[in-house]
Structure 1
Amino acid sequence: MQQETRVRNASRNVVFGMFLKGYQILLPFIMRTAIMYYMGDGYLGLNSLFGSVLWVLNLAELGVGSAMVYSMYQPIIDNDKEQICALLKLYQKYYRIIGLVIAVVGGILTPFIPYLVKSDMPEGVSIYVVYLLNLFCTCMSYWLLAYKNSLLTAHQRNDVASKVMLVTNTFQYAAQLVVVMTIGDYYIYLIVQIFTQIVTNLVTAYFANKMYPEYKAVGKLPKETVKKINNRIRDLFTMKVGQVIVSSADTIVISAFLGLAANAFYNNYYYVLTAVTGIMNVVFVSCTAGIGNSILVETEEKNYTDLKKLSFIIMWLAGMCSAVMLCLYQPFMRLWVTEKRMLPFAVVVCMVVYFFISQVNQILITYKDAAGIWHEDRFRPLVTALVNLVLNIILVQFIGIYGVILSTVISVLAVGMPWILHNLFTVLFKRNAWEYIRKLLYYTIVTTIVCTLTYLVASQIPGVGILALILKAIVSVIVSNLLMFVAYFKMGEFAEVKKLVIRVLKRQA
């Protein structure tokens, strides 16, 4: 019964999550386009830069959210309402402190912000005002009932938060689009973003209260329980630092060394990659709570079998996406940003490699997070990120944007992935990892062949317009899936996933 519930919840979260993610991709795409053509590349680069700067300030979160949600899994299984309420109280306290820390540290860093922009600062815009508005938005995201969202996540009801964001994002982008296309005031653009963040937090908290009225932020946890949670948070800190460095370093380094215009061009390409990655992440986010539940109640062998099934699904999807991206990246960018803002095809190849490696890595991270293997894994993200940062700063000066992308790929392949594989198979699965590694290598080889053959076929389609783009999309999807079917249909995972898909479809019918 629990397994059926996990599958049902994950399926629902994937459906709503995919819908929301598609919506979230389309609206920012329209917004980026409007800023690009109505306000200029400088504003676009500035937008990307401060997104990364504020992500750095989110270090203060320390991984509290992940630790608290993980701590709720067992009480939910046991229906221990008193402990869940006490966890909410602790979560509320921590998030208030986090918002205060971000405000103080952000204020201290204010005088140093201009050093992050090499050139191309838009006229009439104060970098200090832009920074402080972004800082205020980040602080409000923690202070206003953010802890309530943990109830939805721990109960696998991410679809509720998705619906709220669907409505609030509609308002935000509609209002911002009017601002960009009429008065072109970047300050008002940011104020709309702040207002939307406030509304999103309040409405999400309202629905969490309505669905789970029995859970209030009251009570006190035993000191031993608090100590365990704090230990998890401490172990998660290095992971958080690593994530922040990897996610933010590229944009900040490009802005500091190459300028805002180069930053805008790079982030146009990176936006496409993050859009596809975001769609894939819906699957990971929707499954994490179910995986965490399964790890607690199922056998080690069952969990390893589930890992292989999830890996098969993700590698099929990632292989198809990689092939389609390789075929469509440049034709799409030519239509969207025009020739003058395009980067060489070699950048596309680097982006696709980056995407595929990140999906392999995310499978392992998902299981690591669901199993709570944070203590053993505490140094890996930090070491990986520091290697990435050093390579970033060195390589950007010699090979520019290529160095920024390749530094991430090298650090993950050489440091991050071997390390996390060791941790997973030593702590969780307690077996030799070579069988699983061989499967990953096979998936990688198949994906390389599929991408190459699909690109050769799709490149035969002439033309540069929308019709040619649509035809290439159709051809690349069909060809890549046919090739992967030939490569995978005899695998045991194929049969298992086929049964799973049929079961889900019957339930939805």
Structure 2
Amino acid sequence: MSRVALSIKNAWIAIVFHFTYIVIQFYSRNIFLDILGDDFIGIVGTLKSILQFLNLSELGIGAAVGFSLYKPLYEQNKEKINEIIGYLGFLYKRIGLFMLGSGLILVLFFPLIFENTEINLGIIIFLFVALLSSNLLSYFFAYHIFLLQADQKSYIGITINQSVFILRLFLQCLVLLYFQSVLAWIFLELATPFIYIFILRKKIKSNYPWLDFKFKATKAIRSRNKELLKKVKQLSFHKLGGFVSNGTDNIVIFAFINPATVAFVGNYQLIMNNINTLVGQIFNGTKAGVGNLVAENNHSTMMKVFWEMMALRFFLAGCASVLLYIGFDDLITIWVGEKYLMSHSVLMALISIFFILQVRTPVDTYIQAFGLYADTWAPLVQSVVNLVFSIALVINYGVIGIFLGTIISQVLVILIWRPYHLFWKGFKLKQMTYWYGFLGHLVFFAFALFCAYYILGYLELKVTTNLFALFLKLLKIGIVFSIIYFMVLFVFSKGFKDVNYRIVALIKQRLK
């Protein structure tokens, strides 16, 4: 199966499963808020952010291993693949032990961290142990999933993961509705990862019967993989920058405001993250394909695919951002109630972060494929800028200040430095090549917005009070804006024109 066909297969399977997951996640969130309460859900969000911090010990090993697997997979070098996966297991098991020790030490400080909450401390500790156990299982038993991702078979892992965790949400809703048992809800958080690991390992064994699950990383193997360890050290800094930009918001809100506000923001983040993931799933299978392109060293094809990805990302991010702006407040009101609405400025900030996360991805994908992680100072600058501005602004402006700090740091490092680094070290092209294309797509988006603003002005858009009416309103707006934006990009963007020709050609090929 070709790279494009595999990418499409990964995308459509991911979209179907994730859309199903979104539906039950939104339904379950309402039940969780009603029965468990705002403070408890806020604490769940805070604990997950704390675990993200502990996950910094992963040091980007998974991404580095994915990068190192592209070449042996392209050459079908099974011995080297076993060696790399074995080395990954060696590193991950030690990280798991570190996380276990760190988590147990952190629990000792819970009486201080959660002294102002009304939730029983024993419940909080049990919840943390359940969430920690899920992470530990991945480190000890699920690291083989990186082979599926590098081999463009991520749809296998997605199918298993989403099926198991959709089942978990369904069962959690049942135990709350019929038994109102918090302990049973937490127990399901603890139990379902075991089911996921069991099914995943069995499936990997059937797809790669030659893969040695008991492979030991000897001293000689560790010596041969010094370059991989170097990439891991570089990636550790980038992981730190990514966490501070996206993972500390809930911790800062908990520390400077209160747990309930974490739940309020969590409703917004749940919608944003799901849409971000849904769009990301469309492109998830392309990472390995780009890795193969870099391995083949076909420069013209690399650049062509880069601008195709960039144009398509702008199109999807632009359409999604417009619909989020139009329908977000209505959705929150219908879903969890008007009391959970936050200010319009918070919504605009979150949409801006969402847009940045989308249009940055082609650059990130190629940086991973090239292994360009030597700029370890960049994520440190991003982290410092983010924390300094977030803490300074939250004191004077509240929640919006935290997100403004995130935006400032992302613009400086993500939108300015990283593309510069890719074109300088990876493509070895002049920087204006990138800026001409990127700024051009921003102008195309602005022009499409300008046209849509006047056309949509003739449509009567009322506040909606039910999901079906909201769906019809967003469908109407979505069709109008997507047609306008599609026409603008098709006329002015070569990358968008190329990707459409590619899709049409693939469809014709499949129909024959």
Shorter-chain TM range is: over 0.9
TM-score normalized by structure 1? 0.94
Mean alpha-carbon deviation: is it higher for 314-323 or for 21-30?
A: 21-30
Q: Please name the residue that 1:398 is paired with.
A: 396
Please state how far the C-alpha of 1:204 moved relative to its aligned partner. 0.8
d(CA) in 2 for partners of 1:117, 1:364: 40
Deviation at 1:486, TM superposition (A): 3.3
Instruction: Structure 2: give runs of 5+ residues left out of the alignment.
Output: none
Root mean square deviation of aligned Cα: 2.1
Mapping 1:23-62, distance limit 5 Å: 23-62=20-59
Could you list the per-position Cα deviations for residues 87-110 of structure 1 after superposition, in whole angstroms to 9, with x for gaps in the alignment? 122111111111101001111222
How many angstroms does 1:487 deviate by? 1.9
User: CA separation in 2, counterparts of 1:210 and 1:327?
Assistant: 47
How far residue 399 of structure 1 moved from its aligned partner, in angstroms, is: 0.9
C-alpha displacement of 1:421: 1.3
- The 1:374–1:281 alpha-carbon spacing in structure 2 relative to 1, beyond 3 Å, is same
1:7 aligns with 2:13: no
In 2: Cα distance, 1:121 partner to 1:43 partner: 9
Q: Matches of residues 467-478 of structure 1 in structure 2 within 5 Å?
A: 467-478=468-479
Would the alpha carbon gap of residues 470 and 231 (structure 1) be closer, same or farther in structure 2, given more than 3 Å must change?
same
Asked whether 1:486 is paired with 2:487, we answer yes
In the alignment, does 2:502 pair up with 1:500? yes
Which amino acid in 2 is paired with 1:460? E
What's 1:250 paired with? 249
Deviations 1:474-501 (A, max 9, x none): 1221121122123222232232112111
Separation in 2 of the partners of 1:455 and 1:106?
51
- Correspondence for 1:171: 167
Per-residue deviation, residues 178-210 of structure 1 (Å, max 9, x unmatched): 122233333322221221111111211111110
Structure-1 separation of matches of 2:38 and 2:188:
21
1:451 offset after TM fit, Å? Answer: 4.6
Mapped to 1, the partners of 2:447 and 2:342 lie a distance apart of: 24
The structural deviation recorded for 1:449 is 4.8
TM-score by length of 2: 0.93
Separation in 2 of the partners of 1:454 and 1:205? 49
- SS in structure 2 opposite 1:500? helix
1:277-323 deviation per Cα after TM superposition (whole angstroms, max 9, x unaligned): 01122133211111000011042222112111110011111111011
**2:196 corresponds to 1:194:** no
Which amino acid in structure 2 is aligned with residue 64 of structure 1? Answer: I
Q: Matched residue of 2:212: which SS?
A: coil
Q: Which residue of 2 is the match for residue 417 of structure 1?
A: 415
Partner Cα separation in structure 1 for residue 373 and residue 352 of structure 2: 27
Separation in 1 of the partners of 2:96 and 2:324?
Answer: 38
Question: Tell me, what secondary structure is at the counterpart of 2:407?
Answer: helix
Provide the residue aligned with 1:80 in structure 2. 77
Q: Aligned in 2, Cα 1:342/1:115: closer, same or farther, shift over 3 Å?
A: farther
Structure 1's 379 and 24: CA in aligned 2 closer, same or farther, altered over 3 A?
Answer: farther
Aligned to 1:205: 201
Contact 1:331 1:464 in 2 (8 A): yes
Q: Do the aligned partners of 1:35 and 1:43 also contact (CA within 8 Å) in 2?
A: no
**Which residue pairs with 1:369 in the alignment?**
368
Closer/same/farther in 2, CA of residues 254 and 157 from structure 1, 3 Å limit: same
The one of 204, 210, 214 aligned to 1:214: 210
Aligned pairs for 1:45-444 within 5 A: 45-117=42-114, 119-122=116-119, 126-143=123-140, 145-217=141-213, 218=215, 220=218, 222-375=221-374, 377-444=375-442
3-state secondary structure, aligned to 1:489 = helix
Range with bigger deviation, 323-332 or 32-41 = 32-41
Tell me the amino acid that sits aligned with residue 155 of structure 2: D
Assess if the C-alpha contact under 8 Å between 1:284 and 1:363 holds in 2: no
Greater mean alpha carbon deviation, residues 124-133 or residues 258-267: 124-133
Q: 1:165 to 1:415 in 2, by over 3 A?
A: closer
The AA in structure 2 aligned to 1:317 is: L
User: Structure 1 CA distance, aligned partners of 2:409 and 2:329?
Assistant: 27
Contact residue 63 and residue 236 of structure 1 kept, 8 A: yes
Aligned residues: 504
8 Å Cα contact 1:462/1:468 also seen in 2 = no
Work out the CA distance in 2 between the residues paired with 1:407 and 1:461: 33
